[in-house]
Amino acid sequence: MDHLRALAGFQEQFLASTRRADPATPIPWLGRWSVEKLVVHLARIHHWAAGQARREQETPLGRGPFDLPQLYDECATELRETLAELDPDARAWALVDDGVPKAEQSGTVRFWHRRQAHETLVHLWDLRTAIGEPLAAHGFDPGDEAWVDCLDEVVTVMHPRQLRLERVARPAARIVFRPEGADASLTLGGAADDAPVVVIAGPARSLALLAWGRGVPDDDRLAAEGVEVEGDRTLAEAVVRAGLTP
């Protein structure tokens, strides 16, 4: 997957959506967040990530108020151009070196290609859903490859980091994600060898969004999308609710 190309496409869609959205529209599954807070958040994350890729502390953007489309466009462009200019294999500050002095960190710029593509994709779903537009509106379709990769990042990067930083306890069950059309299942790590196995199967997009905290296994929306649970649903819900991602 060409993450840098995907990032550009997701950013383009997000920017267009900010121009159609009412900033006061609430996003109920993100607590008390509104569209305005979501747009500012993603802009700040792009700005911060560009600094991380350059191994430089970013300059704070200030508190606002902001022209939302302008702010997002500027920060998205900064990130995209920064990542395009840098060698993907050059060293960067990344989320794989927690506790290691910055001078000794071994992350690469390529990490941010993937991380920011997925960050933008998930928040694009947040924005489109909040304003009542299907993600596939306006001829846009990220495809199953992007969603499987997004889910894989949770399993291989984000959840292991949650465990490493002791933000969550070891899962009480071995959660196996089985996305439709994928070559293989993805198993969440950290559970005991003798922990019960729970399989969560369904469309790649639904499983990725579930892993990113957009719902729990018993949500009516996810059931309607074809998500099925084989095993103890209570354990599956407890693991997901604990937080697989920050």
Beta strand segments in 159-244, E: 174-179, 186-187, 197-202, 228-230
Mean pLDDT score of the chain: 95
Evaluate if residue 218 carries a pLDDT over 80: no
Model pTM score:
0.95
User: pLDDT band at residue 217, thresholds of 50, 70 and 90?
Assistant: confident
The two tokens of residue 15 are 């920017």
Residues 138-196: tens digit of each pLDDT: 889 999 999 999 999 999 999 999 999 999 999 999 999 999 988 899 999 999 999 99
Evaluate if residue 110 carries a pLDDT over 80: yes
CA angle centred on 149, ends 145 and 151, rounded to 5° = 120
Contact 183, 213 (CB under 8 A): no
Percentage of the chain exceeding pLDDT 90? 89
Evaluate if residue 84 carries a pLDDT over 90: yes
